[in-house]
Amino acid sequence: MKERNKEIQEKYNFLLTQLKKARKESYLKQAVIAKMIGRYSSYISKIESGDRRIDVIELNELAEVYNKKLSYFLLK
């Protein structure tokens, strides 16, 4: 079970890294992205820091804003 949890955490860390990278590639600040999707400024910050989990619907919403495919965010 420990190994499975480690694998899941590794994949989630990759997701967080890709989210940060995609935002930086968009040249937009966290507050601007949050406003674009109708969220508070801290929303993106909390997701990127791992303080808030992101679900697949939210991920898809951000992928559209960043003009990325969902596969960009997933560790294979």
More confident residue, 64 or 2: 64
33: left (phi over 0), alpha (psi -120 to 50) or beta: alpha
pLDDT of 1 above 90: no
Residue by residue, DSSP assigns 24-59 as HHHT--HHHHHHHTT--THHHHHHHHTSS---HHHH
Q: Domains in the chain, ordered, with CATH? A: 2-73 (1.10.260.40)
What percent of the chain shows pLDDT beyond 90?
A: 91
Which residues are within 8 A (CB) of 58 and not within 5 positions of it... i.e. 6 or more apart? 47
Give this prediction's pTM. 0.90
